[in-house]
Structure 1
Amino acid sequence: MTDAFIRLFTAYTADQDSIGRRLGRAVTDRSRADPLIAATATDIALYPGGGRPPTVEGFRMSTRGFKELTGVSHLGPAVASLVRLRALGEASWRESAERLLAEVKATRAANSTELWRDQVAVEAYRGKEGEIAALVDRACEATGRYLTLALDDEEYLSPTTLRRDFLDGDDGVNAMMVATFFLVSLDINFRVARWFTARDVAWERAMVVVAGRQGRPTAGVTWNTSSVATMILAASRGRLPLERVYVAPHAPTFATPADGDLSEVAALEEELRALWCGTRATVELGEVMFDGYPRYTPGGLVLPDVADPGVTEVSEMPAIRSAGDMRALVTRLRVVLEDPRQLLSGCVTDFAAASLAAAGNDPTRVTVPGL
């Protein structure tokens, strides 16, 4: 390349004083009073705008009940992984099965209604503690029974027995996995919606960045596959335009604040505002340059219907007709495993959010599928 061509290239981009960078800064300067919401995989920060300090709400691993319920959710894939290990000729399946069996027995002994009511004490689960304890007991009992049979006769450990004796059926682990995923989403959506309501966000002007890695490296990078984006959109009750939500897996993130120290969160505001506004500046060029041509608008996702048993394949999460639609709910469990775009924990986030919204954010009025 000649120097003249390089200078032409940097005149618009790749330079701090380029035209593109100047436009981005101009848009940022005019948006400083607007609320900015930045969500990581575990926390949400709200920058109110106008120089006011941020606030943060943790919604995942720093909250009560998440790891307890997730441990139960993992029983299905854990046992299925043992089946695969044996099929691959890995002798280590037995040691892993013995470890899992010991942990399941210990968990079953520690589980009780009182544990969920008095120690875990999640507000969204009030009145459901006995049902949750019974669910955990059934899951542990089923897992312990299956593992014991497999350790006594390894030929028993197969995909056929896994599905027939462990996963399927009204009291199978599939239903328990649906229930635990839903309970986690119920709690998270309940708290986040209440937190946003208390802050009276001007949603029509809100700037949203879903920042950093959300799960496995290929997951949650679009509006339709990001459970965090789904949660924020649900909390806005339809007031947040989808076009103002940017999923940015390479955006900077902050660690979960410790001891109320929000200095790291506050320090990121300028960079996150510049990221959102720089993206927005390019988007807004479309109207300037191409007025009169069809404009882009975010489309709604049409979910496939799997009520017909003849449906054998889907390319998106299926629609859920009701809390009793176990065919759709279990199909979603399969989709989040096989579709690398999906977050494993996001299989029922949208259904939990919609159920809560319909109940006026009152979790006592929500039916938990599989519970």
Structure 2
Amino acid sequence: MPAPSQESPELIDLFTTYTAGPDSIGAHLRDAAVRAGADDPLLVVTGADMALYPGGGRPPTVLGFRLSTRGFKELAAVSHLGPALASLAALKRGDERGVWRADALRLLTEVRRSRAANDVALWRDRIAAPSYRGREEAIAAMVDYSCDLTERYLVRALADPAYLSERTLREDYLDDGDPGELPVSFNRIMVATFFLVGMDNAHRFITWCDVQGVDWERAMVVIAGQQGRPTAGVTWRTSSVAAIVLAASRHKLPLDRLYMAPHAPVFATPADGDLSEVAALEPALRALWAGTRATVDLGATMFEGYPAFSPSGGDEAVLSFGDTTTEVGEMPPIRSDDDWRALVTRLRVVMEDPRQLLSGAVSDYAAQQLVAHDNDPLAITVPGLDGEPYPGLAAARETAGRRAV
């Protein structure tokens, strides 16, 4: 005999009436929002490229970004020397198989090869990034110095393994010290390489956007997919790409029109000028932005009078009835089970803040209360349920029956 269903078909149908289906109310709202913004420019930034969909069915244009840009990998190779030596020091601790030594020898070989290949002509004539023009000699000198400094450290560490340590790495390589012994610390070199990469990305992107004539007040912006490390750049404040986009707009782009979407579909870097895959993703990406925006806009309708979410708002604010707070940048703390101004404001925040899970308005508070009460669900108060004057089920059905008649 099959086990009885653990679901209520009637309530599941009620669930899907609003969401989880192509013919749901939520889907209809999204579709209406897509139609309303069909002529607005859509800018999509992936981990490697930027695509501008002008709107109105016009074809996209694409700018290569990061991995496909001139000099990125070469400068990243230099900036990685610091973490590489720190990794060797970490590997050496408890290393019984000699892995650190083999890696150090391989790194030494590549450092020497890179130093031999580096010269002014490489940066001026081959890499030839426009934003580096006039600095090629200085960049070549920095790379030569970086390789020499790293080689000397590695040679000493291989000759005397006890020398390889976090202390010597900081004192003799990373940190500022005696200018006679260490004219430029590697920390400064890492800053320089990161700055050069950021400068080049920003320079090319700003130039490209200026040529495109983006209407930033109407622009729909999605930063899609993984940006660097799997955990990196998933919020406005931690995304270097978001900072570049905002700067390129001369801060005309409203921050609430820029969405971080790490799970959004992304296109592969176009090859041989073929933009068919980029064009094919436009409907899905427009639906993602417009659907998110449509839900965000419900917040003001549903929760007028409660503080609104603002991307540029301050940190979490303690709220109370009668206060003058009009916007918050984070979830306000809940002070008690009947802190209704904070509780309802959280409902507005999860609606208007696209970083939030809609069902997560009070999950953290529920978890905190369980921990404080030995994980006993009956020992805590469920706001909005416990102590509320709901009529009994029989009385409610009787009332509903009279209304139906």
- TM-score if structure 1 supplies the norm length? 0.80
What is aligned with 2:99?
A: 92
Identity %: 61
Deviation at 1:115, TM superposition (A): 1.3
3-state SS of paired residue (1:106) = helix
What is aligned with 2:254?
A: 241
Match of 1:168 among 155, 170, 175: 175
- Match status 1:125 vs 2:129: no
3-state SS of paired residue (2:170) = helix
Letter in 2 for 1:233: L
- Match status 1:232 vs 2:238: no
Structure 1 ranges of 4+ moved more than 6 A? none
| Distance in 2 (alpha carbons) for counterparts of 1:3 and 1:122 | 62
What is aligned with 2:17?
A: 11
Match of 1:137 among 137, 140, 144: 144
Letter in 1 for 2:101: R
- Match status 1:277 vs 2:290: yes
Deviation at 1:300, TM superposition (A): 5.9
- Match status 1:210 vs 2:217: no
3-state SS of paired residue (2:40) = coil
What is aligned with 1:348?
A: none
Deviation at 1:258, TM superposition (A): 0.4
Q: Deviations over 1:228-280 (max 9, x none)?
A: 11111110001000000000000000010000000000000000000001100
The CA RMSD measured in Å over matched residues stands at 1.2
What is aligned with 2:198?
A: 185
Deviation at 1:293, TM superposition (A): 2.0
Deviation at 1:301, TM superposition (A): 7.7
Indicate if the aligned counterparts of 1:27 and 1:277 stay in contact, CA closer than 8 A. yes
Deviation at 1:295, TM superposition (A): 1.4
Structure 1 residues 125 and 301: alpha-carbon distance in aligned structure 2, compared to 1, 3 A threshold: farther
- Match status 1:111 vs 2:124: no
Structure 1 residues 32 and 249: alpha-carbon distance in aligned structure 2, compared to 1, 3 A threshold: same
| Distance in 2 (alpha carbons) for counterparts of 1:125 and 1:300 | 37
Deviation at 1:3, TM superposition (A): 1.5
- Match status 1:69 vs 2:75: yes
3-state SS of paired residue (1:203) = coil
3-state SS of paired residue (2:150) = helix
| Distance in 1 (alpha carbons) for counterparts of 2:268 and 2:85 | 33
Match of 2:166 among 146, 159, 163: 159
What is aligned with 2:28?
A: 22
3-state SS of paired residue (1:232) = helix
| Distance in 1 (alpha carbons) for counterparts of 2:145 and 2:173 | 11
| Distance in 2 (alpha carbons) for counterparts of 1:157 and 1:205 | 55
Q: Which residues of structure 1 form unaligned runs of 5+? A: 303-371
Match of 1:195 among 184, 205, 208: 208
Deviation at 1:59, TM superposition (A): 1.4
Deviation at 1:292, TM superposition (A): 2.2
| Distance in 2 (alpha carbons) for counterparts of 1:255 and 1:2 | 43
| Distance in 1 (alpha carbons) for counterparts of 2:314 and 2:122 | 40
| Distance in 2 (alpha carbons) for counterparts of 1:204 and 1:92 | 55
| Distance in 2 (alpha carbons) for counterparts of 1:3 and 1:114 | 72
| Distance in 2 (alpha carbons) for counterparts of 1:141 and 1:163 | 17
Letter in 2 for 1:73: S
- Bigger-Rg structure (1/2): 2
| Distance in 1 (alpha carbons) for counterparts of 2:94 and 2:254 | 48
Equivalent residue pairs, number = 302
